Amino acid sequence: MSSWTILTGEYPPDCGGVADYTAQIARGLAASGEDVTVVCPPSRFGRSDGLVRIVTLPDQFGAGSRSELDRLLDAQPATRILVQYVPNAFGFRGANLAWCHALKRRADRDGADVRVMFHEPYFYFGWNRPQRNALALVQRAMAAILLRTASRVYLSTDAWRAYLRPYASASTPPFVTLPIPSAIPRCDRSTDVQAVRDGIGGGRGAVIGHFGTYGAHVAPMIRRALTSLLEDDVALRAICVGVGSERFVRDLERGHRSIAGRVLATSRLSPSDVAVHLSACDLLLQPYPDGVTTRRTSVMAGLANGRPVLTTSGALTEPIWAGTSAVALAAADRANAFRLAARELVADADRRAALAARGDAVYRSHFALEHTIAMLRDLRGAAAA
């Protein structure tokens, strides 16, 4: 049995993809016989977890937290330190150089086994928000320190290799892309699935859906696709799943009266109820302006539940998506391509079924939680990754 100390900027019941992912990893390691401690900032919600030990820090990885963390790590010097890294999650408004230096000192002084999972590398440089360029520079320095600290470097997507390679040193270990499993379980409530379908607009047409947070970058793509499809086919219905869906649907129906009553908004649901609503969909529409990547847990949720997924290919999309045909792809930079592809899939049930079967098989063989846990425990090496 090994000891693990997982450092994360968020953990349930706080919302967030990294929070859900970290909980899966922590519980998966514990279920495999490992001793797991999760260290995270304070939360306004109470935290408890029957499988892992939770240590709540006094602040967002500031000076008080560094002292607390030093005491904790001094008491278990052989622990593997696994950092769930998103630069903005570790305090100081995303510029916590002091915390990165503290981790490096511990690795240099004590030989600590520090492993870093890069969920995100750093801010981009840009002219649209020039005040962030200083932060983008600091975050590159943070990434360089962590790359010189880590005994293992894990990535949430192959796309981050090109972003991080310029800041690596000769001592940086090979980058390993970890599978990102779905945070949503596989649905086993067929009666509830049918009830959801029956309750949407009273119709019997196909059901399309989207799972996400309806942020500024994705919402316009979903809005264009849904309105076009629903206005063209009066039997078609839709489900919008996730935080922000109620406001999104309210605005959608206000501008397009002809689709009122045919779009269900769920707002926030439990993971089990998310699975029910995703399983009620005949096709999931998951476009992203920079393209699908392996870190898109909303796509993983659809694949894990055997749903056909239409998404976009873009600058960050890895070869696995086209190579396996696990999802249907449309070019992110072609305005009409996504809507045309969606219309074709809605009209072709056999093609949707084949797409769903491929997606389900690829998820089980590449992305399911057991693959991630095996790689973390070094039961599969970097070559296998």
Percent of the chain having pLDDT more than 90? 84
* Cα separation, 248 vs 223, whole angstroms: 8
* Cα separation, 143 vs 306, whole angstroms: 37
CATH class of segment(s) 190-367: alpha beta
142, amino acid identity: M
Find the mean pLDDT for residues 219-223.
Answer: 94
* Cα separation, 228 vs 367, whole angstroms: 33
- Could you give the 3-state DSSP secondary structure of residue 365? helix
With bands split at pLDDT 50, 70 and 90, how would you rate the model's confidence at 45? Answer: confident
Domain locations along the chain: 3-181+368-376, 190-367
pLDDT at 354: 98
pLDDT at 203: 67
Strand pairing partners for 146? none
With bands split at pLDDT 50, 70 and 90, how would you rate the model's confidence at 40? Answer: very high
Instruction: Kindly report the pTM of this predicted structure.
Output: 0.89
CATH superfamily membership of 3-181+368-376: Glycogen Phosphorylase B; (3.40.50.2000)
pLDDT at 378: 86
pLDDT at 385: 42
- Could you give the 3-state DSSP secondary structure of residue 108? helix
Percent of the chain having pLDDT more than 70? 98
Contacts (Cβ under 8 Å, ≥6 apart) of 121: 87, 139, 143, 160, 163, 164
In the chain, how long is the greatest CA-to-CA distance? Answer: 67
Greater confidence, 378 or 246? 246
With bands split at pLDDT 50, 70 and 90, how would you rate the model's confidence at 202? Answer: low
Q: Which DSSP category does 98 fall into?
A: H
Instruction: Kindly report the average pLDDT of the chain as a whole number.
Output: 92
Give the tens place of pLDDT for each residue, 55-73. Answer: 999 999 999 999 999 999 9
* Cα separation, 193 vs 276, whole angstroms: 5
Query: What are the C-alpha distances in Å from 116 to residues 88, 89, 103?
Result: 15, 14, 11
pLDDT at 16: 83
* Cα separation, 337 vs 206, whole angstroms: 20
